[in-house]
């Protein structure tokens, strides 16, 4: 049996936290502190502006870079934070330092409002709603003269000592920027960050892992809105006087492009992107009227030349070549440990399921029972309804008729994100993975629902969140060892071969400690040897008490590993029984197996 030799790039998994993760940020912080020591009035203002912009971009990065939402109108939240703080200080006499948390609260509330359409709208449609919101904020700022001062504007809050000098204010902004960085790095490396990226690149896999979009998105929009509100209050102080003209569309574009230039799913990249874009106009002062044009050119260059942005340029470890001739060596004996906790053994049954797509009867009165500890094969010609059946069980399709039961309870139709909690795990006909994340991170997504730490606990890296992350990581490594991929744990998943992606998906599904494992054509694209390793793995999963549904075209694999087989034809059961019974069934032989 071959083995996955460790490539240089995939040296044993080192703890990814620690100094290595923080070193680049500490370097940037040291430079920023050196700036405060050697204070220069002109560059000091620019550095202060960069720090303020970063407070906003750090939160926006979770929305745009991690969750992949095109939120291009975030200048509106900057404006709301600025006006909230300025009006509270100027009109209500609130102390300036208390105005900061009020601006954060306003930003959070409006951030959630901006974010709600993202639950239904995608790509440009969502982008347009954020722009629409920005227009509304500007119009209200112009029209609501008693509070905002209209076109005349308002003085920004004046902070008390020690923040009333340019250096003092710079250090405050720097401190808040450092705090935002620390929190967003923590979030990015937690199950919250992985869930956002999984929603962005593999939504159905995320839902199958039990990740609920509404709670995830609302939390992240609240957080990023709060940071934008704080940035707005600081911006108002920096400007000393605010009018609606200060919150231009160019500023919104700057925030957005800083993330694209920096690279998706990274914090360091967008941080450097923000610094570069804040400095750029200073070096190109004569071209200030061309700033929008320059941003557009920069964006085009990045998209065409370095689609992964600064983060991709800095990703040295994924540049090293992987060994080409590598094979997956499964270790089924580890499954006893992976699947140690047994759920209550109960069958999963479909009764009289009917599902049509327009005139196409994909499933036509199907009964099917999956039993714990058995491998149940589902075979049939192309288009016979195998994947549709799997999607009904997983809640992605709602049948027009029939019911599903898990043990004694009805299985709710639809709601795929609730299946993981019921112990149903699956793989996909075409592997659904997050290409830009590491193999280990992809597998960790499968265990998301085992975590209980809140978003805030993750952001502040509190003990429960840290302990859960450690446990999740160790379990993911164990699952990877079981499927023979531990040597590739730190490699970007999109560098894997097709067969490795199949095993990666199985490792991710095993993270759930499932009661039922549903495999959709897991042997497609595998070599003969890999297919038999897969068969060995599947048998051992069932031996651990898990019910397996194996949708396959490889008849020899099905007959070798299944306890029972159902053959579908045109959405109906053509035959069912033991492999020997099905193999000798006349109609099966003529319709599917061939003479
Ligand atoms: N979302 C959909 N919209 C419309 N028709 C669909 C949809 N999903 C499946 N179908 C149709 O339902 C029928 C069953 O498809 P299904 O994918 O379940 O077959 P299958 O047995 O898994 O085939 P294969 O072995 O090729 O994967 C096919 O005629 C297919 O075209």
- Calpha distance 312→316 (Å, rounded): 8
For residue 321, being part of any structural domain is answered with no
Residue 234 and residue 366 share a domain: no
Q: Which atom of ligand 1 is nearest to the CA of 380?
A: 21
**Poorest-confidence range of 146-150, 264-268, 507-511?**
146-150
Does residue 177 register a pLDDT over 90?
Answer: yes
pTM of the model: 0.89
> Which protein residue has the closest C-alpha to ligand 1 atom 31?
383
Domain shared by 343 and 461, yes or no: no
**Does the pLDDT of residue 212 top 70, yes or no?**
yes
Is 208 in contact with 426 (CB distance < 8 Å)? Answer: yes
Asked whether 360 lines ligand 1 (CB < 6 A), one says yes
Average pLDDT score over residue span 427-443: 95
Q: Which of 259, 281, 313 is the last residue of a domain?
A: 313
Query: Is the sign of the CA dihedral 415, 416, 419, 420 positive or negative?
Result: negative
Q: Are residues 49 and 151 in the same domain?
A: yes
Judging by DSSP bridges, how do beta strands 516-520 and 424-426 pair with one another? parallel
559 and 450 co-located in one domain? no
Please give the distance, rounded to the nearest whole angstrom, from the Cα atom of residue 373 to the centre of ligand 1: 28
| Ligand 1 geometric centre to CA of 361 (Å) | 9
Domain boundary among 263, 278, 313: 313
Res 81 pLDDT > 50: yes
Q: 393 C-alpha vs ligand 1 centroid, how far in Å? A: 15
Looking at residue 334, the DSSP 8-state letter turns out to be G
- The rounded Å distance from CA 362 to ligand 1 centre is 6
Domain match, 487 and 545 both: no
Whether the pLDDT of residue 595 is over 70: the answer is no
Total count of domains within the chain: 3
What's the confidence (pLDDT) of residue 297? 81
pLDDT of residue 412: 87
Answer yes or no: is 382 within a domain. yes
Per residue in 289-304, pLDDT (tens digit) is 777 777 778 778 877 8
Q: Are 376 and 563 in contact (CB under 8 A)?
A: yes
Is residue 309 in contact with ligand 1, taking CB distance under 6 Å? no
Query: What average pLDDT does the segment 497-506 reach?
Result: 94
Residue 537 has pLDDT above 60, yes or no: yes
Per-residue confidence (pLDDT) for residue 327, from 0 to 100: 72
User: What CATH number has the domain bearing residue 379?
Assistant: 3.40.50.300
Residue 219 Cβ contacting ligand 1 at under 6 Å: no
The response to whether residue 385 sits with its C-beta less than 6 Å from ligand 1 reads yes
Mutate to test the pocket of ligand 1, among 386, 398, 521, 523 (most ligand atoms within 8 A of CB): 386
Interval 376-398 mean pLDDT: 94
Label residue 91 by pLDDT band (50, 70, 90): confident
348 and 390 part of one domain = yes
* Rounded-to-integer distance, Cα 464 and Cα 454, Å: 9
Instruction: Looking at the structure, tell me whether residues 463 and 579 fall in a common domain.
Output: no
Q: Is residue 447 located within the same domain as residue 565?
A: no
Per-residue pLDDT of 400-430, as tens digits, reads 999 999 988 899 888 899 999 999 999 999 9
Query: Can you state the angle between helices 191-201 and 213-239, rounded to 10 degrees?
Result: 110
Is residue 231 included in any domain, yes or no?
Answer: yes
Place of tokens 């044993």: 12
Residue 17 pLDDT level (bands cut at 50, 70, 90): low
- Read off the pLDDT of each residue in 45-56 and give the average, rounded to a whole number: 96
355 and 485 co-located in one domain? no
Assigned domain for 331 exists: no
145, 63: one domain: yes
pLDDT number for residue 148? 86
Q: Which of 457, 479, 501 is the last residue of a domain?
A: 501
Q: Can you give the pLDDT at residue 6? A: 36
State what percent of residues in the chain have pLDDT above 90. 64
Q: Quick check: is 527 in a domain?
A: yes
Residue 506 forms part of a structural domain: no
The enclosing domain of 89 has a CATH number of 1.10.3470
Of 55-59, 151-155, 259-263, 294-298, where does the model show the most confidence? 55-59
Locate the ligand 1 atom nearest the alpha carbon of residue 389 and give its number. Answer: 18
Q: Are residues 263 and 137 in the same domain?
A: yes
Please, what's the b/e burial string for 95-109 (b: 16 or more CB within 10 A of its CB; e: otherwise)?
ebeebbebbbbbbbe
* Any atom of ligand 1 within 6 Å of the Cβ of 372: no
Residues 556 and 517 in one domain: yes
pLDDT, tens digit, 9 for 90 and up, residues 161-171: 899 999 999 99
Judge whether 430 lies within some domain: no
Q: Is residue 11 part of a domain?
A: no
Instruction: Look at residue 9 and tell me whether its pLDDT is greater than 50.
Output: no
Tokens of 417: 């994100």
What stretch of H or E contains 533?
A: helix 528-543
Integer Cα distance of 411 and 245 in angstroms: 56
Range of the domain at 464: 435-501
Tell me what pLDDT residue 67 has: 93
């Amino acid at each position: 049996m071959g083995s996955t030799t460790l490539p240089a790039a995939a040296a044993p998994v080192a703890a990814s936290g620690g100094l290595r993760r923080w070193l680049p940020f500490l370097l940037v912080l040291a430079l920023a502190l050196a700036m405060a020591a050697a204070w220069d009035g002109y560059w000091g203002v620019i550095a202060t502006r960069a720090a303020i912009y970063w407070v906003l971009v750090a939160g926006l990065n979770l929305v745009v870079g991690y969750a992949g939402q095109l939120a291009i109108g975030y200048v509106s939240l900057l404006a709301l934070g600025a006006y909230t703080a300025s009006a509270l200080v100027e009109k209500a006499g609130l102390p300036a330092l208390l105005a900061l948390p009020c601006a954060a609260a306003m930003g959070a509330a409006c951030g959630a409002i901006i974010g709600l359409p993202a639950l239904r709208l995608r790509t440009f449609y969502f982008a347009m709603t954020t722009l629409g919101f920005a227009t509304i904020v500007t119009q209200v700022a112009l029209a609501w003269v008693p509070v905002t001062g209209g076109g005349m504007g308002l003085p920004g809050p004046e902070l008390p000592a020690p923040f009333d000098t340019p250096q003092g204010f710079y250090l405050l902004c720097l401190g808040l920027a450092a705090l935002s960085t620390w929190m967003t790095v923590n979030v990015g490396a937690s199950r919250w960050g992985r869930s956002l990226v999984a929603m962005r690149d593999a939504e159905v896999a995320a839902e199958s892992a039990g990740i609920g979009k509404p709670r995830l998105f609302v939390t992240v929009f609240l957080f990023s809105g709060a940071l934008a509100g704080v940035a707005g209050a600081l911006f108002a102080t920096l400007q000393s006087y605010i009018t609606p003209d200060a919150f231009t569309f160019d500023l919104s574009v700057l925030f957005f492009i800083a993330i694209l230039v920096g690279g998706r799913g990274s914090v360091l990249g967008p941080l450097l992107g923000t610094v570069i874009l804040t400095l750029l106009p200073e070096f190109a002062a004569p071209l200030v009227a061309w700033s929008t044009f320059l941003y557009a050119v920069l964006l085009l260059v990045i998209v065409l030349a370095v689609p992964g942005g600064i983060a991709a340029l800095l990703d040295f470890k994924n540049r090293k070549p992987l060994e080409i001739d590598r094979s997956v060596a499964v270790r089924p004996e580890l499954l006893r440990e992976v699947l140690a906790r047994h759920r209550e053994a109960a069958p999963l049954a479909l009764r009289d399921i009917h599902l049509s797509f327009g005139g196409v009867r994909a499933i036509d009165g199907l009964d099917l029972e999956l039993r714990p500890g058995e491998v149940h094969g589902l075979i049939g010609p192309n288009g016979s309804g195998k994947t549709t059946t799997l999607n009904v069980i997983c809640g992605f399709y709602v049948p027009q008729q029939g019911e599903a039961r898990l043990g004694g309870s009805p299985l709710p139709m639809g709601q795929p994100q609730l299946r993981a909690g019921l112990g149903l795990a699956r793989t996909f006909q075409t592997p659904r993975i997050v290409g830009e994340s590491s193999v280990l991170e992809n597998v960790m997504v499968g265990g998301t629902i085992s975590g209980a730490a809140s978003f805030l606990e993750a952001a502040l890296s509190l003990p429960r969140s840290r302990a859960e992350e450690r446990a999740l990581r160790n379990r993911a490594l164990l699952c990877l060892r079981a499927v023979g991929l531990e040597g590739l744990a730190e490699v970007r998943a999109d560098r894997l071969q097709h067969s490795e992606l199949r095993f990666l998906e199985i490792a991710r599904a095993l993270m759930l400690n499932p009661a039922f494992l549903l495999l959709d054509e897991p042997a497609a694209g595998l070599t003969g040897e890999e297919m038999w390793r897969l068969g060995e793995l599947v048998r051992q999963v069932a031996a651990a008490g898990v019910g397996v549904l194996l949708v396959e075209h490889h008849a020899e694999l099905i007959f070798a590993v299944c306890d029972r087989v159902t053959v579908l034809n045109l959405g109906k059961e053509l035959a069912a029984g033991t492999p020997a019974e099905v193999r000798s069934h006349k109609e099966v032989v003529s319709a599917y197996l061939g003479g």
